[in-house]
Amino acid sequence: MNGDLYITNVRPMGGEATSVTVQDGRIASYGGDAVPGADVVDGGGAIVVPGLVEAHTHLDKSLLGMRWYHNDVGPRLIDKIDNERAQKRLLGIDPARQSARQVVLSVAQGSTHIRSHVDVDTDMGLSGIEGVLKTREQYRGVVDIDIVAFPQSGMLIRPGTVELMEEALKLGADVIGGLDPSAIDRDPKGHLDVVFGLADRYGCPVDIHLHEPAELGAFSMELIIERTKALGLQGRVTVSHAFCLGMADQDYVASLIDALAEARVHILTTAPASRPVPPVKRLVDAGVVVAAGSDGIRDTWGPYGNADMLERAVLVGLRNNFRRDDEVALALDVCTHGGARMMDLDGYGLDVGCRADFVLLDGETLAEAVVSRRPRRLVVKNGRVVARDGRALVEAP
Amino acid sequence: MNGDLYITNVRPMGGEATSVTVQDGRIASYGGDAVPGADVVDGGGAIVVPGLVEAHTHLDKSLLGMRWYHNDVGPRLIDKIDNERAQKRLLGIDPARQSARQVVLSVAQGSTHIRSHVDVDTDMGLSGIEGVLKTREQYRGVVDIDIVAFPQSGMLIRPGTVELMEEALKLGADVIGGLDPSAIDRDPKGHLDVVFGLADRYGCPVDIHLHEPAELGAFSMELIIERTKALGLQGRVTVSHAFCLGMADQDYVASLIDALAEARVHILTTAPASRPVPPVKRLVDAGVVVAAGSDGIRDTWGPYGNADMLERAVLVGLRNNFRRDDEVALALDVCTHGGARMMDLDGYGLDVGCRADFVLLDGETLAEAVVSRRPRRLVVKNGRVVARDGRALVEAP
């Protein structure tokens, strides 16, 4: 055994059956003979898709594996933010332990890449970042984790936060985050100047939570696009949620979509059923990269979520009224290639030469596999099997 | 063994652990001693909830167990209606076989009652009704099925349909259905006069599909309420979908909700993510009965759905932004008691004396059990175990 893999009888994207050879952590060929010394795996006619990309979650604060949190939190955004900051201490939410638990759940379900926003605030300081950095080290090779320094409690409204955000980048965070420049920080210009200033100085991508509704969110989006172009950050900026793209004024939405495409600003959606959402097909047709994520999973904000990016593809489909097979395939594309393009992943995909990050799905057709969401038959990361039959081969604390 | 059941260590609605005694198909007592001759079952600390109620589906036309249907149907409602009528013959969709398959899936997941709309049209005649009647007989005692004669292809626009609807009632359909009086039948007064005329003559309840948007749907709803009151059908009329209650004009919505409550007209929602929806909590607070259903499951309309009414509760929760534990409990209530009240089920619930139709769920708390949607530990119908560990004890064709 030399660590290579030879998987027989698999159907890339649901197409014709073939074999796949994995060498040195990459896809070496399709349809070839077994390489001497390779582990031989019977694919059993499974469908192969690229590794699922969990492009927006909050690893540091899931309550997975902890006692059930009885939620009776108030209805406003600020109620949830303030409650969470308090509960972190009261419940003893350990970012290292909790992120490890969610990571193992993600791996079991075929996610090979994760972007996690991680809270940075003046109460908890950098403990979230430190915890998720520890988890990233622990599961290196099993899953790739992209860390966003995220000012969940606001930035300018809480003095000291900006300095912590900068410390987070020095410590190892990959991306600078932001949050509702008007609705939370009450100073859209000030907030975005800080975020983009840090991006410029540290050469890092930007990913901003924008829940602001309709014309207010659109104004923030305009400011984000302006700064993206001014600083030459095309292709490196993501707007997460972007509910404003679901507003009623369709002419305004059309002009925003054109501007996003031109500045190569990406859109991340969790496809929430209860909020306006970015129109996935219109965005993709206009050339905008669209990715998807679970958002928070079983945390103090809400009880839902299970880290299953096939279920997320179904929710993207349901939210966007995708019914046709080509539309279900688009929903899956958002949860695979969309996330990979958003995160600028190198060597992602099923082409020969790509990194061997892929998932075997049981299913008659691609659409059938997505909507049925059966336990994942096999998950391969960097050419190694990391999960089998819905169970990760690594353990959670 | 006398057919009685004694289940130890269960928690009704997630409360204190107790035992439940089932005699003669009814809940005889909680916390008593085992009855001689009863089957003793270890509840293992499971949560007991009343049987799930699938209050709106289309048993006659699911494609479950058939070859995957590649969907490339056009975007309009009429595209889907016309395509389906054609596909019924082309694919050989057998209403008896297909309804049986879906029924077994529902039973496995804890549904003890189903209301199915069944297509009646001049192409297929009453074959759908006959097929589902056969399935109802076959699974009698395992699940209760309520049959709605449903003019899926329109009624007045297709001469001969009205006569078939009446034949369906004579044949054994329980409920008279209707469909978009303006948008499909182009004659709201004419359509509703026929539907309510049949309800009046045959003494049966009414359940009308109303997809019509905003003010158009609201006008139809007003006509429905007027006829409900005029004919003394309070408590016996359901409006399914009722997207118009999700319209922007909040004063109009408020007046409609008041009118629904006064006329005791029920609302059925499938909680679609891509359409406006009736506001569940506002309706319930106003005293309107709200029930939920899967709608079509894996049919020519779309690939989604799995007959899991716990998943439907999650979708109701996500669509209505229910996050608190009491809100998740409300979503479950819609999928249990709401459906039972809509269908006017006799002896439904967990009270002593109620029919022994219940489900054992693994979970720490009620909300945790709902959001986790684990395989159902035990499903009891009429005092008999009909499913265990996610598998029905009856077979599908």
**Where is the domain boundary, A327, A342, A357?**
A342
Q: What is the CATH number of the domain that holds B273?
A: 3.20.20.140
Instruction: Please tell me the total number of residues recorded for chain A in this structure.
Output: 397
Per-residue tokens: B130: 């006959």
User: What's the one-letter identity of residue B15?
Assistant: G
pLDDT at B35: 86
Note whether A272 contacts B: Cβ–Cβ < 8 A.
yes
pLDDT digits (tens, 9 = 90+) for A102-151: 999 999 999 999 999 999 999 999 999 999 999 999 999 999 999 999 99
- A301 interfacial to chain B (CB closer than 8 Å): yes
| Whether residue A176 sits in one domain with residue A119 | yes
- Tell me, yes or no, whether A21 and A60 share the same domain: no
Q: What are residue A71's phi and psi, to 5 degrees?
A: -90, 115
Nearest to A348 by CA among A338, B261, A394, A68: A338
Residue A103: which of A93, A88, A118, A113 has the closest Cα?
A113
Percent of chain A at pLDDT above 70?
A: 100
Share of chain A above pLDDT 90, in %: 97
Whether B71 sits inside 8 A of A323 (CB atoms) is yes
Contact A323 B317 (CB under 8 A): no
State the CATH number of the domain containing residue B9: 2.30.40.10
* Residue A183 falls inside a structural domain: yes
Residues of B in contact with A315 (CB under 8 A): 273, 318
The answer to whether the Cβ–Cβ distance between A318 and B368 falls below 8 Å is no
Residue B252 is given by DSSP the state H
Alpha-carbon distance of B270 to B292, in angstroms, equals 5
Q: What is the mean pLDDT of chain A?
A: 97
* pLDDT (0 to 100) of residue B3: 85
Tell me, what's the pLDDT at B389?
A: 98
Distances (CA, A) of B68 to A298, A363, B259: 34, 10, 44
Report the pLDDT averaged over residues A63-89.
Answer: 94
pLDDT tens string A159-191: 999 999 999 999 999 999 999 999 999 999 999
Region A39-57: mean pLDDT is 97
B366 and B337 in a single domain? The answer is no
A396 domain residue, yes or no: no
Mean pLDDT by 10 residues, chain B (397 residues): 90 98 97 92 98 98 97 92 94 97 98 98 97 98 98 96 98 98 96 98 98 96 98 98 95 97 98 97 98 98 97 98 98 98 98 98 98 98 98 95
Provide the number of structural domains found in chain A. 2
Does A22 lie in the same domain as A67? no
Do B285 and B372 fall within a single domain? Answer: no
What residue numbers bound the domain in which B32 lies? 5-50+349-391
**What is the strand order of the sheet B52-57 is part of?**
B52-57, B111-119, B144-150, B175-179, B206-210, B237-241, B265-269, B290-292
CB contact under 8 Å between A68 and B274, yes or no, is: no
Residues B115 and B249 in one domain: yes
* 3 state SS for B299-316: CCCCCCCCCCHHHHHHHH
Statement to judge: residues A91 and A44 lie in one domain? no
Residue B346 corresponds to which tokens in the numbers above?
């006799």
Is A394 part of a structural domain of the chain? Answer: no
- Chain B hits for A243, CB-CB cut-off 8 Å, are none
Is residue B60 within 8 Å of B85, Cβ to Cβ? no
- Residue B348: C-alpha distances to residues A114, B13, B27, B43 (Å): 46, 15, 10, 21
Query: Is B195 among the domain residues?
Result: yes
How many Å apart are CA B92 and CA A277, to the nearest integer? 38
Query: What is B222-237 written as a DSSP string?
Result: HHHHHHHHHTT-TTSE
Q: Report residue B291: phi and psi, to 5°.
A: -120, 170
* pLDDT band (50, 70, 90) for residue A3: confident
Q: Bridge-partner residues for A111, per DSSP? A: A52
Give which of B6, B3, B2 is closest to B41, Cα–Cα.
Answer: B6
CA of A180 to nearest chain B CA: how many angstroms apart?
20
One domain, residues A46 and A108: no
In a domain, A395, yes or no: no
Instruction: With a threshold of 0.90, tell me whether the complex ipTM lies above it.
Output: yes
**In terms of domains, do A212 and A314 share one?**
yes
- The phi, psi pair for B178, rounded to 5°, reads -155, 175
Adjacent-strand bridge partners of A151: none
Does A162 share its domain with A172? yes
Query: Region A7-31: what's the mean pLDDT?
Result: 97
Question: For residues B112 and B357, is the Cβ–Cβ distance under 8 A?
Answer: yes
**Do residue A198 and residue A91 come from a single domain?**
yes
Rg for chain A, CA atoms, rounded:
21
Is A354 a domain residue?
Answer: yes
User: Is B318 contained in some domain?
Assistant: yes
Residues of A (329-348) whose Cβ lies below 8 Å from B = none
Q: What is the pLDDT of residue A1?
A: 58
Query: What sections of B95-187 are H helices per DSSP?
Result: 95-108, 127-138, 161-171
For residue A138, what are the CA distances in angstroms to A51, A100, A167, A177, B317? 20, 8, 22, 24, 35
Domain-located, residue A397: no
How many Cβ contacts (< 8 angstroms) between chains A and B?
A: 83
Crossing angle of helices A161-171/A188-202, nearest 10°?
A: 20
Sheet holding A18-23, edge to edge: A26-30, A18-23, A5-12, A39-50, A358-361, A378-381, A384-388, A391-392
* pLDDT number for residue A78: 87
Whether residues A276 and A353 fall in one domain = no
A62 pairs with which residues across the strands?
none
